[in-house]
Amino acid sequence: MHNKNLIKKYLEELLNIPSPTGYTGNICEYIKSELKELKVDYKTSNKGIIVATIDGINQDEETTFSSHIDTLGAMVKEIKSNGRLSVSQIGGYMMNSIEGENCIIHTRNEKCYEGTLQTIRPSIHIHGNDARELPRDCKNYEVIIDEEVFSKDDILKLGIDIGDIISFDTRTRITKSDFIKSRYLDDKASVAAILYAIKYIKLNNIKPKNTINFLFSNYEEVGHGSSAFIPKNTTEFIAVDMGCPGEGQNSTEYDVCICTKDSNGPYDYDLVNRLISTCKSRSINYKLDIYPNYGSDATAALKSGMDAKFALIGPGVFSSHGYERTHIKSIIETINLIIAYIS
Ligand SMILES: [Zn+2]
């Protein structure tokens, strides 16, 4: 039996650290300090990718698992004369999914200011139908800063400038029934699964068949996460990222999802077969699925020239890139598959 509380602790700690793409320094430090505590060797790339390695019996062929520590977010696009900020999106999401959400503006001199993302016509008592019918385009949103600011100058005096990062409240809730509701379970549910798996491997002195690497990428949401720093003996690359349960999909919030094809085409036939037979022989609950609008870090690695078999597995995350939900069972089955596959 796995320690659910430890999985939840990792997940809550990860979700608590704001990490929109381009602002992953703090979460990198968190990952590195966990790896140090677990006494696992790691390296960091110039771009900030972390690769942790555990030697296997066979050191000539390596299996690399990737997960991404960056999330969606926004950047200050314009400082408006009314004392508000317009924003530019980081990553692909629907603006209405963060409408009315609390946020933090992170300045380059390490100050944080609170605010709320609102539409430019936020009050039904003032704008009536215009409030309802306003197109939910990025240009129709602004951040109301929780400071007494009334002009562009007032904002500049706070030290806020164009290009400052904006992170959104994750609204993390873990229910008694073990559902986890939060923004950015993509991909922090997988990162928590991987940290837990590493701890499990160390505590139980498991010697992997092949050397294994855990790559934490920091630019996945913008497409070039695992495009560098892939250990050179990698013969198998397994992206650990969310599955997509929903209308017409086979994925669930209770199983480990194995993707057979996404927007970039089929995943490696043999490696997917091996993952399926591992699930069958170890009684791991899994679901196969196809994702019509999805690109993973496996594709980023392939496009950068990697020659390895490649797959995508992970917990099922409902309402992805919105207010997301999964169940602890899905994370546990992902952990089970990782551990079973390497040993
Ligand atoms: Zn993801």
Give the type of residue at 302: L
Which domains, and CATH codes, for the chain? 4-71+184-342 (3.40.630.10), 73-168 (2.40.30.40)
**Residue 1: its pLDDT value, please?**
86
**Is residue 132 classed exposed, middle or buried when 0-12, 13-18 and 19+ CB atoms within 10 A define those classes?**
exposed
Q: How far apart are CA 17 and CA 29, in angstroms?
A: 10
CA distance 49 to 232: 15
* Spatial distance between the Cα atoms of 225 and 230, rounded to a whole number of angstroms: 11
CA–CA distance, 119 with 208 (Å, rounded to integer) = 52
Place of tokens 């692909």: 92
The whole-number pLDDT of residue 90 equals 98
Which residue numbers are catalytic?
220
Give the DSSP H or E segment for 322.
Answer: none
Write the pLDDT tens digit of every residue in 113-154.
999 999 999 999 999 999 999 999 999 999 999 999 999 999
Q: Is 186 annotated as a binding residue?
A: yes
Residue 320 CA to ligand 1 centre (angstroms):
9
Ranges of residues in the chain whose predicted pLDDT is under 50 = none
Say how many Å lie between the CA of residue 326 and the centre of ligand 1. 14
At residue 30, the pLDDT reads 98
Measure the CA dihedral 120/121/123/126, to 10°: 130
68 is in an annotated binding site: yes
Q: How far is the CA of 328 from the centre of ligand 1 (A)?
A: 17
